[in-house]
Amino acid sequence: MPPETDLARFSDRVGFVTLTVKEIKRFWSVLGQTVTAPVITALLYLLVFAQAMQGRAQVYPGVSYTEFLVPGLVMMTVIQNAFANSSSSLTQSKIMGNLVFLLMAPLGAWEWFAAYVVAALVRAALVAVAMLLVALLFVPLPVHAPLALLAMFLLSGASLAVLGLIAGIVASKFDHLAAFTNFIITPLSFLSGVFYSVHALPPFWYVASHFNPFFYMIDGFRYGFFGQADVPIGLSLLWAAGFLALLSAICLWMLMTGYKLRR
């Protein structure tokens, strides 16, 4: 193997690690905003809905409404924070003009892609763990299928990190990013079965929910705790993996061609 190839691969690995550490340090420096605030917001949802619905609704046999609610809130928080981490970082770099330093660095599309996804997953994991630890003070949660739980977390968090990268590439100002969040991420999150089972919906919305990829992410994650879900876990994994593959193909094409980055 030519020494130039070895040097290039070493440079790519160093660049990947450096960019990953930089992205982690970026959100770590404002931990109160990036981790604590989302956890508090999710806990407020938990307190309000648990108090309002506890004893009035039971979705799965042997599972209280509060228990049912916690995994949905955790995954909704993972979805929103994984998206926010990569999208806000890239958009901020474009607006502040320091994106040029990344473009000049010896980084390939795969290194860019992987670094942003890994950093977003680290932030999502911190938020999820913090949320679960606090929620355990209110309600005990069983873990029925830990591997399914981990798989759904990784597939869902990575999907939204990639979607955030796409949004960051497309957006030229924070208004564009806010529109993406307000009109896509938030509606799909709230209409994904976080607070209810889709079996309680009217026929039209029941069918419509099955075209929402976030529904499968939340339902599959919930299966990991209870072993019960609205759809089979295999279908949830298939949807999440397919969604990640589609978004990854689009994002890598954008990075490789320099779409809205180099031109």
Tell me what pLDDT residue 56 has. Answer: 60
- State pLDDT tens for residues 104-122: 877 889 999 999 999 999 9
Give the residue from 240, 242, 246, 254 showing the smallest Cα distance to 79: 240
For residue 22, what pLDDT is reported?
93
- pLDDT above 70 covers a percentage of the chain that reads 92
pLDDT, residue 106, reads 78
Q: Please report the pLDDT score of residue 58 as a whole number.
A: 64
Over residues 137-149, the mean pLDDT reads 91
Q: What is the pLDDT of residue 5?
A: 58
pLDDT score at 148: 96
Can you give the pLDDT at residue 60? 82
Residue 1 has pLDDT above 50, yes or no: no
Helix (H) or strand (E) holding 79: helix 65-96
Please report, for residues 50, 104, 109, 216, 232, the alpha-carbon distance to residue 181 in angstroms, rounded to integers and kept in the order given.
26, 30, 25, 19, 29
Would you state the pLDDT for residue 7?
42
Largest CA distance in the chain: 69
Kindly indicate the confidence band of residue 157, based on its pLDDT and cuts at 50, 70 and 90: very high
Q: Tell which wins on pLDDT, 183 or 14.
A: 183
Residue 222 identity: R
Dump pLDDT digits (tens) for 44-100. Answer: 888 888 777 665 666 788 888 889 999 999 999 999 999 999 999 999 988 888 888
Q: Is 241 left (phi over 0), alpha (psi -120 to 50) or beta?
A: alpha
Q: What is the mean pLDDT of residues 216-220?
A: 96
**Better-predicted residue by pLDDT, 200 or 163:** 163
CA distance 66 to 93: 40
Task: Give the mean model confidence (pLDDT) for residues 180-196.
Answer: 91
Q: Which two tokens stand for residue 95?
A: 């607006």
Average pLDDT over the chain, rounded to an integer: 89
Residue 83 CA from chain centroid, whole number? 5
